[in-house]
Amino acid sequence: MINSPNGLWQLYCANIIQYPFSSSNPNVPPIMLDNYGHATFEGPVPPQYPAPNPFNASVSIGTSGGYQQFFDTAGSINASNPLNYGYLLGANWWGNSSIAVTSIPDLNDSSTWTWTAEYKASGDSLRIVVPVPEPSTISLGALAGIIGMVSTFGKRRKLL
């Protein structure tokens, strides 16, 4: 779970780095990066947005099926994918997921590799703003209530 200025989000992601990647095609490089992810808003949807339809039931943004990219052992190993799927796309949201292998001390021991995966998303505010009365309004309301109670108590006393 991630708490942001827009509220609470749940991030689901899968990042796979496979070496050696074996393929029946000899032209496919031996390192495979696979990335998939989506972020789901866990709060109520503001009234200006329509409710999600049954085919897109969660208020989320994510990759559409993820991606796979292949790399040689020499050179830069990084890839990214837009977050271009989900309900929030229609609500002016966008994003990106990326993965990069930053160090390969031992090519044959993937436990020595270091990598980073990053998910970014931004868009219109999803916070629902509940109007709160001004302190002076609350004070006037409390004062009116007290005056009403005193007035009622005073009337009862005269009747007895």
**pLDDT 10s digits, 85-142:** 888 887 888 999 999 999 999 999 988 999 999 999 998 888 776 666 666 555 556 6
pLDDT at 101: 94
Q: How far is CA 156 from each of CA 57, 71, 84, 150, 152, rounded to the nearest angstrom? A: 59, 88, 69, 10, 6
**pLDDT 10s digits, 22-59:** 889 999 999 999 888 889 999 888 888 877 777 667 88
pLDDT at 141: 61
pLDDT at 47: 81
* Backbone dihedral angles phi then psi of residue 138, each to the nearest 5 degrees: -65, -45
* 92: alpha, beta or left? (left if phi > 0; alpha if psi -120 to 50): left
Say whether pTM exceeds 0.85. no
pLDDT at 46: 83
pLDDT at 159: 45
Query: What is the residue-wise DSSP string for 91-158?
Result: GT-EEEEEEEEEE-S-TT-GGG-EEEEEEEEE-S--PPPPP---HHHHHHHHHHHHHHHHHHHHHHHH
70 or 57: which carries more pLDDT confidence?
70
Which amino acid is it at 147?
A: I
Distance CA 89, CA 31 (A): 32
